[in-house]
């Protein structure tokens, strides 16, 4: 069964460094998302991406964040200058489309980002 994959599973970085989190969505899906979950808290929406552009973003997704689909398979989240409070699990998700049975988002296993 196709699944969303994410790399790396765990990333440790120093404050102020740039990180890129990578995702490979399910191949026939058209909509892509990033969410984050600070340890022990709820899952929060960051950004949605469709047709090579951001369709919606949350207030968390400030100028330090950017997303890109550099080729036909990868979807990346870049944090330009990491802060301690960026430490969280980052989930990538994809969705097939807007058809009747296409509203569920399928999540990857997550990347745990630790900023020291």
Residue closer to other proteins (CB basis): 14 or 62: 62
Residues 69-108, interacting with other proteins (CB under 8 A): 89, 91, 93, 98, 103-108
Strand 5-7 vs strand 43-50: parallel, antiparallel, or unpaired? unpaired
Q: Is-contact 3 12, C-beta < 8 A? A: no
Q: In 3-state terms, what secondary structure has residue 98?
A: coil
β-partners of residue 22 are: 7, 76
Our finding on whether 22 is near other proteins (CB under 8 A) is no
Interface contacts to other proteins, rule CB under 8 A: 31, 33, 35, 41-45, 48, 50, 55-56, 58, 89, 91, 93, 98, 103-110, 112
């Amino acid at each position: 069964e196709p699944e969303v994959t994410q790399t790396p599973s765990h990333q440790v970085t120093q404050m102020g460094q740039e990180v890129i989190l990578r995702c490979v969505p399910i191949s026939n899906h058209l909509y892509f998302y990033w969410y984050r979950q600070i340890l022990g808290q709820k899952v929060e929406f960051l950004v949605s991406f469709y047709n090579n552009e951001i369709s919606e973003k949350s207030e968390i997704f400030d100028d330090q964040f950017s997303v890109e689909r550099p080729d036909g398979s990868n979807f990346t989240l870049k944090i330009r200058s990491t802060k301690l409070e960026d430490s969280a699990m980052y989930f990538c998700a994809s969705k097939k489309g807007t058809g009747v049975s296409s509203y569920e988002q399928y999540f990857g296993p997550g990347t745990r980002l630790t900023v020291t």
